[in-house]
Structure 1
Amino acid sequence: MSSTPPGFELPLRLFLAFRVLIDELHAELGRQGHPDIRPMHGFVMQAIGPDGTTAVDLGRTLGVTKQAAGKTVEALERIGYVERTRDPADTRRKIVRLTPYGMDALARSAAIFDDLRARWAAELGEDRLRALEADLRTMTPANLWRLDIPGWFGAP
């Protein structure tokens, strides 16, 4: 009997680690005044960025249709994370921008991720965690901010 884990365990463990971190992030965000934010919202708010974007460009960045992007923007607008404004360069276009509440959620997320990393370093040891991070950098593309995961999870 081989002691080598089956190949399917690696992606499941990586996804589980992602899920643990994201669930802990959202639990803490809830305690810090952002109880309605969901994991998908983080991808969308990162894609909107500090300068804003259009629904068409947002959909392209996320790998989803303009309509799917629009529904997510509507949901984020209802809970106060984004607003739609007219593009000063072309008043026919609407720009989706983060509100101060949305910017606060992203800033808090960054700080919470730093805290979560520190917890992992305390549990695993800083050297082991740095080695894990280095190994993951070796095995993954350099583009850290690939935001098309919503589209990737969608139907073909």
Structure 2
Amino acid sequence: MTPLDLDLPTLAWLAGSSANRAILAELHEAGHPGVRNSHGYVVQHLIDRAPTVSELAGLLGVTQQAASKHLRELERLGYVARVPDPADSRVRRAQLTDHGWQLVEDSRRIRQQLDKRLTRLAGKDSAEAARRVLVCLLDATGGTEEVIGRRAALPSE
């Protein structure tokens, strides 16, 4: 049996998992040794806002305790700081630190390099066809709106 013998959903999941491991390994080498896949789901919500724990929990679809746990991990790693809300100093908001922004930049760069490498290996037409097939898989499984709305569910680790 070869990977070509697998059904497309299984192959997509395995390829995605392999890509995530490779991207994480490169991030670790680039100076982000404690980063995990689940951290990306949190960081994406800090790029254009500074949510409270409660707001973050709603965005992630998890409990406040789970959101707080992820924020504590990211704080300990130096990617996030909790700062007073300008309108109410009793309220704390999570925001990316300079190190957090570096993680975003490094992650984008590494993913872009992998995308370019895949396009070179498969050819532009094949890479675009694969992209269309994966979008169809999202459509067929009801995941398109989650991706568009940046509400992809946190992976279980």
- TM-score, length-normalised on structure 2? 0.85
**2:115 is the alignment partner of 1:144:** no
Supply the distance in 1 between the matched residues of 2:156 and 2:38 (Cα, whole angstroms): 11
Q: Any runs of at least 4 consecutive aligned residues in structure 1 with deviations exceeding 6 A, and if so which?
A: none
Greater displacement, 17-26 / 45-54: 45-54
Supply the distance in 2 between the matched residues of 1:107 and 1:50 (Cα, whole angstroms): 14
Distance 1:135 1:114, change over 3 A: same
- TM-score, length-normalised on structure 1? 0.85
Unpaired stretches in structure 1, ≥5 consecutive residues: none
Q: CA deviation at 1:153?
A: 4.8
Q: Deviations over 1:78-98 (max 9, x none)?
A: 110100000001222110001
Supply the distance in 1 between the matched residues of 2:28 and 2:149 (Cα, whole angstroms): 24
Supply the distance in 2 between the matched residues of 1:41 and 1:31 (Cα, whole angstroms): 17
Greater displacement, 63-72 / 51-60: 51-60
Match of 1:24 in 2: 22
Q: CA deviation at 1:127?
A: 0.8
Q: Please state whether the residue corresponding to 2:91 is helix, strand or coil.
A: strand
Q: 2:57, 2:63 within 8 Å by CA — same for their partners in 1?
A: yes
The percent of aligned pairs where both chains have the same amino acid is 33
Q: How large is the Cα RMSD of the aligned pairs? A: 2.0
Q: CA deviation at 1:45?
A: 0.5
Count of aligned positions: 148
Q: Deviations over 1:92-135 (max 9, x none)?
A: 21100011101100111011101001111122111101111123
Supply the distance in 2 between the matched residues of 1:153 and 1:25 (Cα, whole angstroms): 18
Q: Please state whether the residue corresponding to 2:151 is helix, strand or coil.
A: coil
Supply the distance in 2 between the matched residues of 1:82 and 1:145 (Cα, whole angstroms): 22
Greater displacement, 24-33 / 45-54: 45-54
Q: CA deviation at 1:18?
A: 1.1
